[in-house]
Structure 1
């Protein structure tokens, strides 16, 4: 489900249209939706970290949700290289809607020791993430 069709769409504070997708900024997390067929590479990952670092400033807890409404490729080696740019550890969730996306995420997770969890809906990801963020306080 596209974020714009979800019950949380009215809570979006800011939208950033990137070359390869869209970032939706909320009070305590960012949701990404990347375009069909793109390669999520170093430059794109750097851009995501830029916004995560920017919006999480002066906030003890802030998270990230990857809403995988389209099929695309994550360049895992670029993700590992860019990981050092994160100013803190961001609790994360990946929303996958089909078996191919779920299997891709599981493979990515094995390769880079990712701590994100897999969710089957955007709403479940928000519930998970806001629950984790509340426990951090």
Structure 2
């Protein structure tokens, strides 16, 4: 993973579409859920970090997560998990809107095997069930109350 982040910061991985992108390093115990992750990517619309074969995102309060934002996440996943299957967790601790069209594009990513949404908000859960209808395989898109349950499910799917 260290080599990947060196590559990101020194080989101009980010195109102009990644405005104000920042990579920082932290100690695992300083970050929630003890993900044992060494780096985090800050984007205009939220933050992304990695755990083995899972890309985790926490998006900012009040945004509209649209196709352009999704393309940024897909590019990050493509470059981090080169030819390896991976899953995506949307950790929805903030309230924001999602354009369900993002799932049509995500469905075309061959190595993206599963999507999990983690939320305890009932309204968000209902919205997520609607979003799920836009993904290619409803059996590979689930909603969970905890990150642990989402991690375990994705590990099983991959």
Is TM > 0.5 for Structure 1 vs Structure 2? yes
Partner of 2:98: 74
Indicate the SS of the match to 1:25: strand
Matches within 5 A, 1:84-123: 86-113=109-136, 114=138, 115-123=140-148
Indicate the SS of the match to 1:102: helix
> Does the aligned pair in 1 maintain the 2:120–2:145 contact within 8 Å?
yes
Distance in 2, matches of 1:92 and 1:83, equals: 10
> Does the aligned pair in 1 maintain the 2:55–2:88 contact within 8 Å?
yes
Cα distance 1:111–1:27, how it changes in 2: closer, same or farther (>3 A)? closer
> Does the aligned pair in 2 maintain the 1:65–1:93 contact within 8 Å?
yes
Which stretch of the first structure deviates more once superposed, 87-96 or 46-55?
87-96
Cα distance 1:90–1:112, how it changes in 2: closer, same or farther (>3 A)? closer
Flag the structure with larger Rg.
2
| TM-score, normalising length: structure 2 | 0.72
Higher relative contact order (CA 8 A, sep 6+): 1
CA deviation profile, 1:17-71 (whole Å, cap 9, x unmatched) = 0100000112211100001110001110000100111111142x21111101111
- Structure 1 residues without counterparts, runs of 5 or longer: none
**Would you say 1:51 and 2:52 are equivalent positions?**
no
| TM-score, normalising length: structure 1 | 0.81
**Would you say 1:40 and 2:65 are equivalent positions?**
yes
Cα distance 1:96–1:19, how it changes in 2: closer, same or farther (>3 A)? same
Distance in 2, matches of 1:111 and 1:132, equals: 19
Over the aligned positions, Cα root-mean-square deviation in angstroms equals 2.0
State the number of aligned residues. 127
